[in-house]
Structure 1
Amino acid sequence: MSGTVQTGVLVVGFGAAGACAALEAAEAGADVLVLDRFEGGGATTLSGGIVYAGGGTAQQRDAGVTDSVDAMHAYLRLEVGDVVSERALRSFCEGSVEMIRWLERHGVPFEGSLCPEKTSYPGNRHYLYYSGSESSGGFRDAAEPAPRGHRAKGRGTSGKALFTPLAAQVRRRATVLPQTRVRRLIQSVDGTVTGVIATTLRDAPAWARALHRRLGQWSAKPGIYVPALRKKLHRRVVALEERFAREIEISAHSVILTAGGFIANREWIREHAPAYRRGLQLGTVGDDGSGIELGRSAGGATAGMGRVSAWRFLTPPSAFLGGLLVNERGQRVIDESRYGAAVGEELIERHGGKGWLLLDEELVRRARAQGDVQWFQRLQTLYLLKRGRVLGGTIAEVARRAGVDPDGLAETVVAADAVPDPMGKPAAFVHRFGSPPYSLVDVSIRPSLAFPCPMLTLGGLVVDEGSGRVLDGDGRPIPGLYAAGRTAVGICSRSYVSGLSLADCVFSGRRAGNHSGRTLRELDKNENVF
């Protein structure tokens, strides 16, 4: 052994869920130790930094937006289904305003600048937007739509703007041990989790720790876009760990697993969700299911392991919403204004991952003119309009050139003139096709650096909704073991919209941290009494 460490609450994984768990446990009075295989941040720093929140946040009020807990709940009830109970979803919605305030108190910046257009992600002038399908057919009738995507204020993708202040707060209130990998849980005879066995580079040469740190950063980004590079870098990471890492035992009253999902575990993806093997892994190499496997080794049950969110965004440019998304038979696929994960799921599950977006001359002109987009969005639009499309002077001609059934496409164009739209697309996005040339833009899901389809896993360990404790196959809590974020089943485990995963990381991380910290405090009180 390299040593033995004792702590009150041990958090395994240092992304958004881990940071929030650590802060709540520390605020409850617990001694907290946080472990991470790398330096922290995980998939959170790679994300857009969107937190789904509503019910009347300060940012919504600043933007002149009216929203209510009931409206937020009614919309999410349709998206979430029965993956969590009515009580849990209501608690999430009722605590939404306070959640944003809590994040702000810990330094996360938000702003109520409302994006005027429907988009997958706003440009650098806007930090509040419609991040889901709130205004799409079927949803707007059930609940008053409102923009609830709260983007942490920062240029580009804002994941770092969200995580950096949280991490700074954690380091002030808890101990963080990076470059440490948990190998197994320690359980007592009665099944109580009492700690972990880990391997750490804390005593490795400085050059080895620095190289490990740099390789971890590179494998996260740009490695996320170049799988072959990521794999090569990770082999060097593993070699360093095998050579220099030393075993350490950590005793704890509670262990909280917040080690992310398993999108980087190709074997698990082939087993649980084989149709989702061709997307961009939205996460780091640490999203390998290790946290879930630790929970299972202690008897924890899992659910939703086949649920994967795959994003095929059609916007920006917002002009693309006027197009018609069709399959090989020329048939309409979905309301084009739906959130990208709904589009991706529809294409993958029912159309073999293939799809084309029909545009006319006006829509292409408007698409080229749109500004206020992120640089990568502009490059994707240029790619789609140059290399990703075919042109034709008639509907039949463009269909033949794309390999789409001409008769089916012609019927779809005629049907789209009906009022209301057959797929329920809002009138604001409906476009009557006019002048040629016509375009069919290939938006099929395939490995592509120019037009990737980001994917993340949504299933994980089953937890008690009041505490975050991991449950076994009989629904009984495993003493001393908690899970949060994408290591656990949560609010977004059935259907994902932008910001819902990070919001659930905050919600479930705080829940687990608070319960474990309060439990330890009560135990200390009882021991002092006797």
Structure 2
Amino acid sequence: MRRLTHQYIFRALTVAAISFLAYRLLRRAAMTAPRTIVVGGGLAGLSAAHTALENGAIVVLLDKKPALGGNSVKASSGINGAGTAAQKEQNITDSPEIFYNDTLASARDLARTHLIKALTDHSVPTLEWLTNNFGVDLSLVAQLGGHSVPRTHRGKGGAPGWAMTSALVKKLEAQPERATILKGAKVVKLLREGGRVTGVEYEVGGEKKTEEGSVVIATGGYAADYAEGGYLSQFRPELLAVPTTNGDHATGDGHRLAVSIGGALCDMDQVQVHPTGFVDPKDPSAKTKFLAAEALRGVGGILIDKDGVRFVDELERRDTVTEKMREVAKAGRAPIRLLLNPEAAKTLEAHVGFYKSKGLMREYESAAALAEDAKIPLANLEATFDAQRSYAKGLTQDPFGKTNHTNAVYTLDEPLLVAEMTPVVHYTMGGIVVDEDARVLNTDGTPIPGLFAAGEAIGGVHGRNRLGGSSLLEAVVFGRLAGKSSTAR
């Protein structure tokens, strides 16, 4: 009995010694590990946080709102990838080079080739990271405006932005020993020692606190900065009267932080006005509107004027479609409506169900019912639908140059889903100047040590126009680049 007692005591002491040693080793590792502070809890910030963790860092994520997600949770069309497994399964030929050329053409004279290359070269590994590490479904592929091939990926469920963001939030919250998440915490100052950024000062619960570490700015854009003297007022005052799709957090906070220590900004007048925002029949003058995802047009939706006549290639670049809509409205041919036939609606069943539940999209039993309600000549709708069938069968060419005629057959006796559309301030292409490693540059073009940025907070990636599906891609690509760079010794 005494011998067994001695053995038990010996084993207990051994386990205790090993546990204590492991604790010391873990504590030492934590003390010597790099520390990354991520400012902003949207997809870019979450991607930076996870990548910093993968590279051995201790992470603190700060967001001024009471919930994470930012505008990323609203993104509804998908994420671009060029040369993916999903494309190959659907016999879609694509490559980073083709994607690069499409993005270059969209950016036009403001193209920064090194940033475009970083975006397009990283698209496939980015989608694989989301799928393999977080279980995000990206199996469906659609073609959006300005793309030469279908490359915008989404899953079979709801909005892809929500699917990605919620998956990353869930996994980050499951690592409290290495990742601290602070909500309702607004960063007000970058701390420096010498020329290096060494941390942040932030406000939470009425108190000011500090955190030390490298800093990643991922605070989003300024498409809701309607304040007097704000960025929209400074750079695009004519847009102050245009509604926005952005949450009230998108006020350029990160831009001001970077500028406060000499960081450079670029392309601040480049603000994307998305052509299709929903006009809510219950509140048509609302300043904030739901986005009508470009995917609605990608799967076959068409735009008509008040007389039932098409006026544009629905899959042209966003800036082109917006300009055509403005011309139509100026000519007195508003309201502009988006139409979906049953095949197109079924393809985006989850999206359509959400829009209908919000009262933004109405179903008519036939074209005659729409014509009667909207005072549209039925003969005009018939002519528009006949032309659509002709384009789809290859008998005639679309006068607006449209070549993708997915779900293009519309008939008078089938149900129609209909919604009124208006252009909306959607995305800011301008922002903080970074290099291809997501390092923030000062006004002389050199990196500011310890400071990185990603997502809509950065500028120069898209030039004059952002392609649909590239905002989520930019968030993850540059979020991952920033997270990795922030851990470099």
TM-score, normalised to structure 1, is 0.66
Q: Does 2:190 match 1:247? A: no
Alpha-carbon distance in structure 2 between the residues aligned to 1:482 and 1:368:
45
Equivalent residue for 1:513, pick from 479, 483, 486: 483
In structure 2, which of residues 185, 197, 200 is the aligned counterpart of residue 196 of structure 1?
200
Query: What pairs with 1:197-346 in structure 2 (closer than 5 Å)?
Result: 197-201=201-205, 245-252=206-213, 254-267=214-227, 268=230, 269-306=232-269, 307-312=271-276, 315=296, 320-321=301-302, 334-338=312-316, 340=318, 342-346=320-324
Q: Is the 8 A contact 1:11 1:21 kept in 2?
A: yes
* C-alpha spacing 1:36/1:16, structure 2 compared with 1 (3 Å): same
**Partner residue in 2 for 1:174:** 179
> Do the aligned residues in 2 keep the contact of 1:348 with 1:354 (CA within 8 Å)?
no
Contact 2:46–2:169 (Cα < 8 Å) also in 1: yes
Q: Structure 1 residues 111, 255: CA separation in 2 closer, same or farther (over 3 Å shift)?
A: closer
SS in structure 2 at match of 1:517:
coil
Q: Residue 35 of structure 1 corresponds to which residue in structure 2? A: 62
Partner of 1:461: 432
Q: Counterpart in 1 of 2:457? A: 487
Match of 1:528 in 2: none
Total equivalences in the alignment: 411
Alignment partner of 2:402 out of 419, 425, 443: 425
**C-alpha distance in 2 between matches for 1:182 and 1:88:** 27
Matches within 5 A, 1:76-225: 76-112=103-139, 127-134=140-147, 140=148, 145=149, 147-153=150-156, 155-171=157-173, 172=175, 173-188=178-193, 190-201=194-205
CA positional deviation for 1:129:
1.4
Q: Deviations over 1:109-134 (max 9, x none)?
A: 2242xxxxxxxxxxxxxx32113333
Matched residue, 2:287:
none
Is the CA contact (8 Å cut-off) linking 1:149 and 1:499 kept in structure 2? Answer: yes
The Cα offsets for residues 26-45 of structure 1, whole Å up to 9 and x where unpaired, read as 22222221111123111112
- Separation in 2, partners of 1:333, 1:270: 32
What does residue range 343-358 of structure 1 map to in structure 2 within 5 Å?
A: 343-348=321-326, 356=334
Structure 2 CA distance for aligned equivalents of residues 365 and 74 of structure 1? 31
Unaligned runs of 5+ in 1: 1-5, 113-126, 135-139, 202-244, 399-408, 410-415, 436-440, 447-452, 521-530
**In the alignment, is the contact (CA less than 8 A) between 1:317 and 1:367 conserved in 2?**
no
- Cα pair 2:300 2:405 within 8 Å, conserved: no
Q: SS of the counterpart of 1:336?
A: coil
> How far apart are residue 23 of structure 1 and its match?
1.7
Deviation at 1:489, TM superposition (A): 1.0
Per-residue deviation at 1:261? Answer: 0.9
Shift of the alpha carbon at 1:338?
2.2
**Residues 181/370 of structure 1: CA separation in 2 closer, same or farther (3 Å cut):** closer
Shift of 1:68: 2.2
**Hey, what's the Cα distance between the residues in 2 that align with 1:132 and 1:75?**
10
Residues in 2 aligned to 1:295 and 1:44: alpha-carbon distance in whole angstroms: 22
Cα distance in 2 for partners of 1:350, 1:424 equals 18
Identical pairs, percent = 27
Does structure 1 conserve the Cα–Cα contact (< 8 Å) formed by 2:336 and 2:422?
no
The alpha-carbon deviation at position 159 of structure 1 amounts to: 2.4
Partner of 2:7: none
On the 8 A contact 2:152/2:469 being kept in 1, the answer is: yes
- In 2 relative to 1, CA 428–468 (structure 1 residues): closer, same or farther, beyond 3 Å? closer
Q: Name the residue aligned to 1:449.
A: none
CA distance change for structure 1 residues 199 and 391 in 2, over 3 Å: closer, same or farther?
Answer: same
CA distance in 2, matches of 1:431, 1:481: 49
The letter for the 2-side match of 1:308 is Q
- Deviation per residue, 1:265-294 (Å, 9 max, x gap): 113323322343455533322211111111
Structure 2: unaligned runs, 5 residues or longer: 1-32, 277-291, 365-369, 385-390, 413-417
